[in-house]
Amino acid sequence: MPARQMKLGAFFLTPGSHSAGWRHRDAIPETDMSFAHYIAAAQVAERGKLDCIFFQDTAALNGSGDLDGTGPWRPRTGRQVYPEPATLIAALAPMTKHIGLVATATTTYGEPYTLARRFGSVDHISGGRAGWNLVTSQIEDEAGNFGHDRHPDHALRYERAEEFFDVVTGLWDSFEDDAFPRDKETGQFLDPSKGHILNHEGKHFRVRGPLNLPRCPQGRPVIAQAGSSEVGKRLASRCADMIFTAQSVLSEGQEFYADVRARAVAHGRAADDVKIMPGFMAITGPTEAAARQTYEELQALIDDTTAMKLLARLCGDLNIYDHPIDGPLPPLPPSNAAKARQQHLVEKAAREGLSIRQMARYLGTSLGHQMVVGSPTQVADVMQAWFESGACDGFMLLFPFYTKPLEDFVELVIPELQRRGLFRTEYEGTTLRENLGIPVPRNRFAPR
Amino acid sequence: MPARQMKLGAFFLTPGSHSAGWRHRDAIPETDMSFAHYIAAAQVAERGKLDCIFFQDTAALNGSGDLDGTGPWRPRTGRQVYPEPATLIAALAPMTKHIGLVATATTTYGEPYTLARRFGSVDHISGGRAGWNLVTSQIEDEAGNFGHDRHPDHALRYERAEEFFDVVTGLWDSFEDDAFPRDKETGQFLDPSKGHILNHEGKHFRVRGPLNLPRCPQGRPVIAQAGSSEVGKRLASRCADMIFTAQSVLSEGQEFYADVRARAVAHGRAADDVKIMPGFMAITGPTEAAARQTYEELQALIDDTTAMKLLARLCGDLNIYDHPIDGPLPPLPPSNAAKARQQHLVEKAAREGLSIRQMARYLGTSLGHQMVVGSPTQVADVMQAWFESGACDGFMLLFPFYTKPLEDFVELVIPELQRRGLFRTEYEGTTLRENLGIPVPRNRFAPR
Ligand SMILES: Cc1cc2nc3c(=O)[nH]c(=O)nc-3n(C[C@H](O)[C@H](O)[C@H](O)COP(=O)(O)O)c2cc1C
Ligand SMILES: Cc1cc2nc3c(=O)[nH]c(=O)nc-3n(C[C@H](O)[C@H](O)[C@H](O)COP(=O)(O)O)c2cc1C
């Protein structure tokens, strides 16, 4: 049996996951809207044999309802406009051959029938490379775009997400694999005995079905999930194939890894069928000195006002601007938007004795994800340590800007991982499930 | 000034607009789900310099709630499964260069914010070639997939459609064209004075905005519309750039053309900014005899059970199976699904003295659209007569199956139209609006 290897995804938050990354001399800030640049980036990632590219999403201009009252916009950071990602991955499908295409879409607003069609269609168009990152909406700005004043409560959002998942996956099972003979001779286009009506009636949704789409090449798209509160972990361990998490301390990573795998087993799943991939930002270069220099350049560009806005939106009802910026982080009231993330912040500030400004800059650098600045060897060392000590199955790679740091990773770090036998040199299969090494789910309606 | 030329779209209802077309010897029934075939078809249409390809849509399996009680499926006709069209046109964007990409999406279910993002994203990705066919949902099967027992009433659907249009177009104006300087030196990514919050509060929707997308290359995607009842025409004349209609008698075409243009002028628009394109099915070949043969082959394949289902769903609450199939069409109670279409049927049956079976076969052949069987010259003659007598600005071409009839049209009829000076030999511009010869709408928020 070949040795266990890492799974790697490239996370896209254009024009950069670093709040000031777009201003770096090598950055192309137009990557947010330029389709040509998305194609280029996807092809670089595919050259690096990554498992997938992974697009975040919010159904609102992030920052349109800023908490500090200075105005509705965030003029200094990008992260605001980009093609709707499920549309974008469809367009990237014919421009790539092997790489998985994962887009984020919320379960808090919108209809499961529509979502099932869209992601199912991408799976067909791409020959089995689609993934759906199921989220429960992190930014409150979305509410106003869907007729609400505020987000529904955290608990209610997760309850809706569980049911949303059940409906969408039920719809994806509407037809058995061989339901469409399309037989010119007999005139039988469809075999009705292979079609199934869902008739879902739940608390949040009533959906009849069937989905007007044959079963997907992957059975269903790969499901990713990223919430990590208690209810977030419950959803992830039951539903997700791939979990994008935010642990940056090894022991926390190990704890999360063991916890979620045990939960998956409790749901009757094989632990290895859930791939756990913490976020990871590598700032690298041919030498450690070159990496350090890029890092210093980036930090010199950070603007505290922008960084403070990132912190402010994790503070729940507390107005962080009422507190001295170089003083300690005060206790935070519960956040409705992102419980797990807020808790991580509070623990980090306490552990490392960080001030408000330092916490803001921490968020402004890597969104709170683990960051390593170093040579390709140093970067690979950290990745290997996590991978081999029961903390993860791979990583979701974050980039401070596009596209150079992705190219650097592919050219410098990937070969190092390959030399160590930690990463593939060729794609194992043609679908994302095959490359991740996870099974095609059984159709719930098919005879055993 | 160059002579006025026709606008032509290729309509897609895979695996064929003829109810038994998929069984024809030259048909490829797998065109419904095969992305490779969609690419091939789009490229053929682009070779023919057509203005656009145009995908119908229903958010349900058409026929899943059949009225005749024999079961939930329509095993003998295709027209059931296909990639969700807004996803499909995104994927076709990088595989084509010039042709417009129009997808249908309903306003009866779903959220305007999501729709604005998706079609706006396709416009960006395709460099200004997107179009949205705004419909009010023709098949009742959709209701059950969105938590309803039945469609909302015809009048209410149109009321919602009018407001849906206002919200979507308002969101598309969220940013002025130059709102994103992305200036690395000054650090200004966004110019907040060029961003606008919609704050729509209406009867059906409350939507704050802004849309998280810069203004589209076309200002906004081209809007197509296809309803032709009284309220349908009101909506079309106010909102649509392109109208897909179903007149098949010249005098009716002329009447509709004059009526809708006058209504557009009453809405303060230029009559020529609305392109009126009736459906048109050409069955052609190198000679009239070859065309006739194809037609006979197709008619021999029609199955009355399938054709009757097409008729049954236009009969409102009347059970058409209670009436002798070779007797006259009885008076029909009002249909909630498609008023204008039903009226067209009743008038045609009366005028031509057609039986129930004949009406069913008529629908099963060209969905009730005009059909011409003949040589390329004969086909071009009919098109020219309509175009030059004030009945239309061009045609929406229907094909009995895919892809051969589309290839025949491009190879045989297009050169004939070009010889007559009735159709372009090169695309005029790079966007769909430029090719249609219609203006980019002003941004409602921009200073005059
Ligand atoms: C690493 C990570 C990535 C996320 N990406 C998104 C995203 O792209 N869009 C979104 O609306 N929410 C995103 N979320 C938010 C989650 O879906 C969820 O709404 C939020 O984390 C609150 O749940 P929790 O308290 O369980 O973490 C992300 C969360 C994490 C931890
Ligand atoms: C030529 C034509 C094409 C249409 N295409 C669609 C379609 O693809 N999907 C859909 O749900 N409705 C479609 N419709 C239905 C209309 O949007 C509308 O719901 C229906 O015609 C009822 O309105 P009316 O009485 O004004 O015609 C179409 C209608 C016509 C006339």
Ligand 2, residue B104: give the atom nearest the CA: 8
Interface touch B94/A94, C-beta < 8 Å = yes
Q: Residue B172 pLDDT > 50, yes or no?
A: yes
CB environment B193-231: b (16+ within 10 A), e (fewer): ebbbbbebeeebbbbbbbbbbbbbbbbbbbbbbbbbbeb
**With a 6 A CB cut-off, is B229 part of the ligand 2 pocket?**
yes
In-domain check, residue B357: no
In-domain check, residue B42: yes
The rounded Å distance from CA A308 to ligand 1 centre is 19
Interface touch A91/B88, C-beta < 8 Å = no
Nearest CA in chain A to B78: A189
Could you tell me the sign of the dihedral formed by the alpha carbons of B367, B371, B374, B376, in that order? negative
Interface touch B182/A74, C-beta < 8 Å = no
Interval A27-35 mean pLDDT: 96
Out of A311-315, A369-373, B126-130, B430-434, least confident range: A311-315
B445 and chain A: CB distance < 8 Å anywhere? Answer: no
Query: For residue A71, what pLDDT is reported?
Result: 46
Q: Which among B91, B85, B33 is positioned nearest to B59, based on CA atoms?
A: B85
ipTM of the complex: 0.95
Measured distance CA(A58)–CA(B206) in Å, rounded: 18
3-class DSSP string for B336-390: CCCHHHHHHHHHHHHHHCCEHHHHHHHHHHHCCCEEEECCHHHHHHHHHHHHHCC
A170 and chain B: CB distance < 8 Å anywhere? Answer: no
Ligand 1 pocket at CB < 6 A: A 56-58, 104, 106, 135-138, 226-229, 232, 244, 246, 279, 338-341
Query: Tokens at residue A110, please?
Result: 């919108």
Q: Residue B79 pLDDT > 80, yes or no?
A: no
Residue A342: pLDDT band (50, 70, 90) is confident
Query: Which H or E run contains B103?
Result: strand B100-106
Measured distance CA(B139)–CA(B72) in Å, rounded: 14
DSSP character for B141?
Answer: G
Residue B207 forms beta bridges with which residues?
B200
A4 and chain B: CB distance < 8 Å anywhere? Answer: no
The label of the residue with tokens 């919430």 reads A227
Interface touch A212/B81, C-beta < 8 Å = yes
A130-135/A275-283 β-pairing:
unpaired
In-domain check, residue A27: yes
The rounded Å distance from CA A132 to ligand 1 centre is 13
In this structure, what are the phi and psi dihedrals at residue A246, rounded to the nearest 5 degrees? -130, 25
Interval A235-245 mean pLDDT: 97
Q: How far is CA A75 from the centre of its chain?
A: 25
Dump pLDDT digits (tens) for A188-237.
899 888 999 999 999 999 999 999 999 999 999 999 998 788 999 999 99
In-domain check, residue A96: yes
Dump pLDDT digits (tens) for A57-72.
999 998 765 433 444 5
For chain B, give the percent of residues with pLDDT over 90.
Answer: 78
More confident residue, A373 or B308: A373
Dump pLDDT digits (tens) for B350-384.
888 889 998 889 888 998 899 999 999 999 999 99
Residue with the nearest Cα to atom 20 of ligand 1? A338
Query: For residue A2, what pLDDT is reported?
Result: 65
Which residues 341-400 in chain B show a CB within 8 A of chain A? none
Region at A215 (left for phi over 0; alpha for psi -120 to 50; beta for the rest): beta
Q: Residue B244 pLDDT > 90, yes or no?
A: yes
In-domain check, residue B363: no
Domain count across chain A: 1
Dump pLDDT digits (tens) for B50-71.
999 999 999 999 876 543 344 4
Query: Tokens at residue A447, please?
Result: 């005879």
Dump pLDDT digits (tens) for B293-343.
999 999 999 988 888 888 888 888 889 999 999 999 888 887 776 777 788
Residue with the nearest Cα to atom 11 of ligand 2? B137
Dump pLDDT digits (tens) for B130-142.
999 999 998 889 9
A111 and chain B: CB distance < 8 Å anywhere? Answer: yes
Interval A422-437 mean pLDDT: 98
Out of A92-106, A203-217, A257-271, A343-357, least confident range: A343-357
CATH number for the domain harbouring residue B199: 3.20.20.30
Stated pTM of the model: 0.96
Q: Residue A146 pLDDT > 60, yes or no?
A: yes
Domain range for B115: 7-284+370-436
CB-CB contact of A207 with B145 (8 Å): yes
Interval A9-14 mean pLDDT: 96
Ligand 1, residue A104: give the atom nearest the CA: 8
Dump pLDDT digits (tens) for B383-393.
999 999 999 99
Q: Which among A347, A340, A343, A337 is positioned nearest to A317, based on CA atoms?
A: A337
Ligand 1, residue A134: give the atom nearest the CA: 17
In-domain check, residue B365: no
In-domain check, residue B442: no
Helix (H, G, I), strand (E, B) or coil at B243: strand
In-domain check, residue A300: no
Interval A108-123 mean pLDDT: 98
Query: For residue A281, what pLDDT is reported?
Result: 97
